[in-house]
Amino acid sequence: MCAALEHRGPDSRGLHCDGVAGLGIQRLRVIDLATGDQPIYNEDRSVAVVLNGEIYNYRELRQELERSGHRFSTQGDTEVIVHLYEQEGLRCVDRLHGMFAFAIWDAKERRLVLARDRVGKKPLFYSHRGDAISFASEPGALLQDPEVSLEVDHGALDCYFTYLYVPAPLSAFRAVRKLPPATVLVYDDGRVRTERYWRLDYSRKRDSSDPAEIQAELRDRIRTAVRRRMLADVPVGAFLSGGIDSSAVVAAMAEISLQPVRTFSIGFGQQDFDELPSARLIAERYGTEHHEFVVEPHAIDILPSIVRHYGEPFADSSAVPSFYLAKLTRQHVTVALNGDGGDESFAGYNRYLSNLVAHRLQALPLTLRKQLATLSRHLPLSASVSGSASRLRRLATTLALDVPTRYAWYHSYFDAAQRDALYTDDYKSLVGISPASEMLDRPWREATATSILDAMLEVDVNTYLPGDLLVKMDIATMAYSLEARSPFLDHELMEFAASVPAGLKVQGMEKKALLRNALRPWLPATILDRPKRGFSVPLADWFRGELKPFAEEILLDKSTRDRGYFREPFVRSLLDSHSAGTADHSSRIWILLLFELWHREVLDRSSSRRSATRTAFGHAA
């Protein structure tokens, strides 16, 4: 299992085995390079801990714990967890400020404790089988255990086809589950129990009578979050996309750092997707040591490797440039700050505007809205999903839906009707009742928000952010032993953002209004006022050009068809209409393509490896 995670931590391997429990750790040395190797123990070695991540407030916690009589044997951040657990038990997580997934083995109590950070920056998979439990940072490590079944969870896969990722607590494997963010799991006496220890509260709002004061406080909080994440005993840099969030992080780093900030950017040959000019503008403004890389369609050559690293189906296409960016960055630094989380806290996505507009149109009679939705089906399809015609069609299509259903529709890539047309009858019977809608319905029901905008932000923070964006970044960076840190995901900064009235975040048709206004002293108007592009790849063009033969070869291959998941005529119609330019099905094609590659690179390989192992042991016996 450790060997399967060596890319995450190539600097040292640590093991603790006492006959009842075993802990393994692959460490990437970032803080306390000399004495911080894990596992870490308490004074009498009755409690052991392994940590994936960083605890940013460990120095303050250490001073407090030493005053209480605890003795430390290292200079690192991991050791505060074991002593804090001794002092405060399971509530130790409340005191930790950072990104983490950790495991504590308490030998005296014969208790295993697993915990994950508040937002879900670090992953944790586990498999509970009666009187045994195993856990790991990635599915590939868990699957080294032959007791963990390879049987797939078809309901979870249905969620993947809907949202392009598998949401927690599900995984692609029936025997494996994800520990949700902000959750502690305790295993003792053969039982598993979990408890959520933190969530954002959007219901309590601060006074907004002085926007300038809120803007100043926001800048201060960004500075504080960035300063915390620059703590390291190794070189630190930053991803710079040229967007508002990453530019703000670089601006704060430049203000804090005594040396030029090292920045790293990815671009594309197509002008509509290339943000390198904007990134260069920020790099020049702040005098950074800047590095660039251009991704071409042949970047698809790394797809099998990407699929193996994710371990379960994952179809966010920006994983491709993320892998290249991580590879480039790791050649220069060990830690990289990024702008993840700014859109979810400060309302940066177009879907927020679309849903706000649709909500305002709910004043129209339902009959009229249904008629408009029906008429929208006759609007011509567009060759680009981001074009004005496509956006108008999406808006009209959803007018008759209630708010949660409409928002789920905006998140769906294959909606219920499309999945019904895609799946074979045999596969529909395997899926059964789809859990996909409940994955977004439940967060809507549990939301604390009182406004539509805040409700959308809250749902995204609990679903899309940890399920897609943070998974993408963690796997891409750790594949190259690079630690990614996200100042906008500082939980105190997020709590501040949740307390700001929604009317300051979106004003009229301006997204991210509060953040844009707060950053005007730091960033030029050319960055702040330009339309959002996002970290996306030109899939539509690629599937009409260089990647068209590749997609057709994989998706129409006999071995793909023989799996019995999909109706071939439906898949062929997606490929043909996209190639003809009558519609943009690039995301759906990508989802199907990545699914088949996952089947080949993970399921088929794992099955073959286990068969070979059984055969080898059989001969040996």
pLDDT, one tens digit per residue, over 317-342 is 999 999 999 999 999 999 999 999 99
pLDDT of amino acid 317: 93
What does the alpha-carbon distance between residue 587 and residue 166 come to, in Å, rounded to a whole number? 16
Q: Which two tokens stand for residue 101?
A: 């997934």
Least confident of 105-114, 153-162, 270-279: 270-279
Of the candidates 19, 192, 185, which has an alpha carbon nearest to the alpha carbon of residue 90? Answer: 185
423-471 pLDDT per residue, tens: 999 999 999 999 999 999 999 999 999 999 999 999 999 999 999 999 9
∠ CA 132-133-139 to the nearest 5 degrees?
A: 140
Q: CA-to-CA distance for 562 and 144, rounded, in angstroms?
A: 27
Residue 608: band (very low, low, confident or very high) from pLDDT cuts 50, 70, 90: confident
Render pLDDT for 394-427 as a digit per residue (tens, 0 to 9): 667 777 778 888 899 889 999 999 999 999 999 9
With bands split at pLDDT 50, 70 and 90, how would you rate the model's confidence at 387?
low
Q: What is the helix (H) or strand (E) element at residue 491, kind and residue range? A: helix 491-499
Residues of the chain with CATH 3.40.50.620: 211-299+313-347+458-528
Q: How would you classify the pairing of strands 22-27 and 12-17?
A: antiparallel
Which pLDDT band, with edges at 50, 70 and 90, does 294 fall under?
confident
What percent of the chain clears pLDDT 70, i.e. is strictly above it?
92
**Residue 584 half-sphere exposure toward CB, CA atoms < 13 A:** 16
Burial class (CB in 10 A: 0-12, 13-18, 19+), 429: exposed
Highest mean pLDDT among 352-361, 590-599, 605-614: 590-599
Q: What is the pLDDT of residues 528-585, one digit of tens each?
A: 998 776 667 889 998 999 899 999 999 999 999 999 999 999 999 999 999 999 999 9
| CB contact set of 245 (below 8 Å; sequence gap of 6+) | 339, 340, 341, 342, 343, 348, 488, 515
pLDDT of residue 94 exceeding 50, the answer is: yes
Give domain 211-299+313-347+458-528's CATH architecture. 3-Layer(aba) Sandwich (3.40)
Measured N-to-C along each axis, helices 303-310 and 319-330 cross at an angle, to the nearest 10 degrees, of: 90
Whole-model pTM above 0.85?
yes
* Residue 170 pLDDT exceeds 90: yes
CATH placement of domain 3-196: 3.60.20.10
Write the DSSP assignment of 48-78 as a string of letters.
EEEEEEEETTHHHHHHHHHHTT---S-SSST
Range from 135-144, 237-246, 369-378, 408-417 carrying the lowest mean pLDDT: 369-378
Determine the Cα angle at 602 with ends 540 and 148, to 5°. 140
Instruction: Retrieve residue 508's tokens.
Output: 């009229």
Closest alpha carbon to 273 in 118, 386, 120: 386
Convert the pLDDT of each residue in 197-254 to its tens digit: 999 999 999 998 899 999 999 999 999 999 999 999 999 999 999 899 999 999 999 9
Please report the pLDDT score of residue 377 as a whole number. Answer: 63
Per-residue pLDDT, 211:
94
* pLDDT level of residue 293 (50, 70, 90 thresholds): confident
pLDDT at 389: 60
CATH 3.60.20.10 positions along the chain are: 3-196
Confidence of residue 609 (pLDDT cuts 50, 70, 90): confident
| Mean pLDDT (the chain, rounded) | 92
* Residues 6 or more apart whose Cβ sits within 8 Å of residue 178: 123, 124, 125, 168, 169, 170, 171
pLDDT at 620: 35
Provide the pLDDT confidence category of residue 621 given band limits of 50, 70 and 90. very low
